Amino acid sequence: MHLDPSTYPRGAAFDELIDASGAPRPAARELFNHLSKLDKVALRERRATVDAAIMTMGITFTIYSEGENIDRAWPFDIIPRIMARDEWRRIEAGLKQRLSALNCFINDIYNEQRIVKDGVFPQEVLAGSRNFRVQCVGHAPQFGVWAHVCGTDLVRDRDGTVYVLEDNLRVPSGVSYMLENRMLMKRLFPEMFQACDILPVDDYTTRLYETLAALSPRPSERPVIAVLTPGIYNSAYFEHSYLAQQMGAILVEGSDLVVGDNDVVYMKTIDGLRRVDVIYRRIDDEFIDPEAFRKDSVLGVPGLMRAWRRGTIGIANAPGAGVADDKVVYAYVPQFIKYYLAEEAILPNVPSYLCMHDDERDYVLANLDKLVVKPANESGGYGMMIGPRATASEREECASRIKADPRNYMAQPTLLLSTAPTLIGDDLAPRHLDLRPFVLQSDSLYATTGGLTRVAMRENSLVVNSSQGGGSKDTWIVDVRN
């Protein structure tokens, strides 16, 4: 047998597929049964097939560099990440619970602000929020829902606990890769899909369509849905086009749309102007409407906010939804769940220290070498300081930034992300990973089955972002009871 789990060099981290004794976990047994039948040559052949398929299918992400956009093939590992269905069901319930509480919060914050008046959420955090949009105050979108698509990052620490690391409520991406990964795996290991009970993932685009269609201001007609992209140079362009294609929606750029004097949004077609009902926007708030936000934006549509406030167009995610996509607001989500839903949080937060509180700040400053410090409003890992890996001067610089603007910083203990066996050369080696499920809400709630597993391909690295050497794996939710 070539790929033998008992010789797998497990590290200190929790491993998703192999237990401490070196045996495959129950959900992964079938996979290893199957892998044991493949020798090196067969394995290499499968990998070559998958690489060729990625090239031909053009599954790429774009890196913009030196004035040119370079398409990189999507780095994909053929060993799946596997989770048992029972564990997943609990996580799924936790994800839905979390998104509905977050939406209650956003709706409250732009309207009555009960949670502030009741003293559960501090006014000063709100005042310091960079993603709070005054232009949205007093608006009541359909179903009271602002964040219709949420990408929640989950990580597992060394004791096996799954934590929520962050909620991406602005323009989360990656779902197309989740779907493409599954397609690749079906091409690669069709026999495994017969042998094991792997739950399907491909209803996502249908559910996304339904979520968006429910926002149409003209419910009696078949809605015209547009995916608004910044254009071909955006790193997620592949996904924008993929989702539009899968949903039968129209992929538009800002310049394709125009808002009439009647505050209705139209697109410019060869047959004149045609009304648009719902926009799934993949452009940040700040750029969607130069009349309301940044005047210099050429990506947006002048007047879009007017139309939205008049209720002639549904926008997902609603402008302003990013107010809850803030590392400090994050720390309050368990309280939101209690306050709005009268429930206990199913999924725990990573313990967090808010630098705006004096005692917590003192603790953070005294333990910078053990903590990860994050700015409140950045995404993609920007401005983060990983204490144990930082130099003394980096830590000092971080300390002074915290003191200058305590509201904008929070800290968490350094987690040891779980690993899964990954094919490196001809052998299996542990690599750290996370999981981004996608959760939808409009008239109902939905979570993807599993999600996108991102994996740090470099040994010992904890950075899973594709721009920094990260790859991905197919994620299998397996029913092991049969």
Binding site for another protein (CB under 8 A): 55-58, 232, 237, 241-242, 244-245, 249-253, 255-256, 258, 260, 262, 264, 266-275
Distance of closest approach, residue 147 Cβ to another protein, in angstroms: 25
Indicate the residue among 227 and 372 with the shorter CB distance to another protein. Answer: 227
- Whether the Cβ atoms of residue 168 and residue 150 lie closer than 8 Å to each other: yes
Q: Which is nearer to another protein, 190 or 272 (CB)?
A: 272
* Three-class SS state of 229: coil
How far apart CA 423 and CA 79 sit, in angstroms, is 7
Select 8 or 76, whichever has its Cβ closest to another protein: 76
Query: Nearest approach, Cβ of 60 to another protein (angstroms)?
Result: 9
The burial of 414, by beta-carbon neighbours within 10 Å (0-12 exposed, 13-18 middle, 19 or more buried), is given as middle
Minimum Å gap between C-beta 251 and another protein is: 5
The dihedral through the CA atoms of 165, 463, 423, 437 has a sign that is: positive
DSSP secondary structure letters along 332-354 = THHHHHHHHH----SSPBPP-EE
Minimum CB–partner distance for residue 254 and another protein (Å): 11
3-state secondary structure of 168: strand
Distance of CA 52 to the CA centre of its chain: 27
User: What is residue 450's three-state secondary structure?
Assistant: coil
Angstrom distances, CA of residue 159 to CA of 15, 114, 171, 246, 434: 10, 38, 32, 39, 15
Which is closer to another protein, CB of 158 or CB of 268?
268
Q: With respect to another protein, which residue has the nearer C-beta, 249 or 415?
A: 249
Q: How far is the CB of 281 from another protein (least distance, A)?
A: 16
For another protein, the closer CB: 58 or 311: 58
Q: Which is nearer to another protein, 304 or 347 (CB)?
A: 304
Residue 10 CB, shortest distance to another protein, in Å, is: 39
Shortest separation between residue 184's beta carbon and another protein, angstroms: 13
Nearer to another protein, 274 or 389 (CB): 274
Angle, nearest 10°, between helix axes 85-109 and 333-341?
Answer: 80
Task: Compare residues 176 and 419 and give the one whose CB is closer to another protein.
Answer: 176
Residue 138 neighbours by CB distance under 10 Å: 9
Residue count (the chain): 482
List of residues 6+ apart from 423 with CB closer than 8 A: 43, 47, 77, 78, 79
DSSP-assigned beta bridge partners for residue 311:
none
Sheet holding 278-281, edge to edge: 250-252, 225-228, 278-281, 314-316
Angle between helices 237-247 and 175-188 (to 10 degrees): 80
Burial class (CB in 10 A: 0-12, 13-18, 19+), 342: exposed
By the 8 A CB rule, do 30 and 195 touch? yes
We find the least distance from the C-beta atom of residue 38 to another protein, in angstroms, to be 27
Q: How far is the CB of 290 from another protein (least distance, A)?
A: 16
CB nearer to another protein: pick between 91 and 251:
251
Q: Smallest gap, in angstroms, from Cβ of residue 215 to another protein?
A: 20
